[in-house]
A and B are shown apart, each in its own frame.
Chain A
Amino acid sequence: DVKVTQSSRYLVKRTGEKVFLECVQDMDHENMFWYRQDPGLGLRLIYFSYDVKMKEKGDIPEGYSVSREKKERFSLILESASTNQTSMYLCASRPPKKTYEQYFGPGTRLTVT
């Protein structure tokens, strides 16, 4: 079974803190994705990566950055957390062929106070 894990299920941070969300997948997938999910808005793509050291902006990259130093790990960084970044963050991975399904991690519910 494909396994996608995220470093925390729940996280509480203060405004202005630097926040790291880690995602690890064990199936050697090339593609990895970071989404945020908010009520009434659904899942929105923040960043994605097709390979090590490669990254592409999604629909809402402002206020975020990412790092992919190893194939299995994709990190989302909030440089200076703000209250409007309070959300559920979901990581996903997928083989390169577009018709393959995505596998999601359990999610991290981040609260910024």
Chain B
Amino acid sequence: KNEVEQSPQNLTAQEGEFITINCSYSVGISALHWLQQHPGGGIVSLFMLSSGKKKHGRLIATINIQEKHSSLHITASHPRDSAVYICAVGDRDDKIIFGKGTRLHILP
């Protein structure tokens, strides 16, 4: 059974800090997703990756397939980055398994 573990569960930081959220999974995957959920519920997809690194603005996602690990980085964090960040993996049977999320709070 594939497990998806995220760390930390909660993170509070000052505006401008460099943020790292980690995700580990236990079995082979077809793709890994990073999702963002703001208060109010809506979820948006930030990244989908199966190898290497992707960058979008101040957000960077990396994945190490051998180590079964991914990180989401936020540079120059801002209060509007405050949200829940969710890691999800698509396994080889086409099922998506979600981590429990990391609640990020950026203080002004």
Contact = CB atoms under 8 A, between A and B. Distances in A.
Contact of B42 (A43, A99, A101, A104): A104
A20 B50 CA distance: 37
Interface string A73-104: 00000000000000010101000001111111
Interface residues of B, number: 22
Contact of A42 (B42, B86, B90): B86
A101 B100 contact: no
Interface stretch (B17-25, B73-81, B91-99): B91-99
A103 B46 CA distance: 11
B101 A104 contact: no
Contacts of B31: 98-99
Which secondary structure characterizes the binding site on chain B? strand
B100 A42 contact: yes
B30 A42 contact: no
A40 B98 CA distance: 12
B78 to A, nearest CB: 23
B48 A101 contact: yes
Given A40-B100, A41-B100, A101 B33 contact: yes
